[in-house]
Amino acid sequence: MDDPEPGDPGEGDEPDATEFGDDAGPVYERPIDKFRRTVAGTAIAAGMFGLRDALEGRPEREEPVMEVPARGSVIDDDLDVVVDLAHPENSRIVVRRSAEPPNPS
């Protein structure tokens, strides 16, 4: 029987034990992933982010919204809130303040 050529599938093509992870199968690493751990890869990535910022502008960060649910119905005669979820432009908040007496100066 002839020996298989390099690159031909055969009996000697079994993966080494170092290629296997935690009994989950072979660990695959994309060819581009080796640049993530090098100085050159980090420098190129920083340059690409700088180029993106220069051409497109810096992307806006999304600020997290903190919501605290009310513990019950809140009734306030000085506050009128109408929220229209279908048409947010029609939502309104009215705060009524009592008139301040004029300053006698």
pLDDT digits (tens, 9 = 90+) for 33-43: 777 788 988 89
pLDDT digits (tens, 9 = 90+) for 42-84: 899 899 999 999 999 888 888 888 887 777 777 778 888 888 8
Any idea which of 1-10, 27-36, 50-59 has the lowest mean pLDDT? 1-10
Q: Which two tokens stand for residue 46?
A: 């920083």
pTM: 0.32
Higher pLDDT, 72 or 9: 72
Phi, psi of 77 (to 5 degrees): -70, -20
In whole angstroms, give the CA distance from residue 89 to residue 83: 9
Predicted local confidence at residue 6, as pLDDT = 52
CA atoms within 13 A on the CB side of 39: 0
Mean pLDDT of the chain: 76
Nearest to 11 by CA among 19, 3, 22: 3
Nearest to 95 by CA among 80, 75, 76, 74: 80
Residue 72 burial (CB < 10 Å; 0-12/13-18/19+)?
Answer: exposed
Over residues 15-38, the mean pLDDT reads 67
**26: helix, strand or coil:** strand
- Percent of the chain beyond pLDDT 70? 73
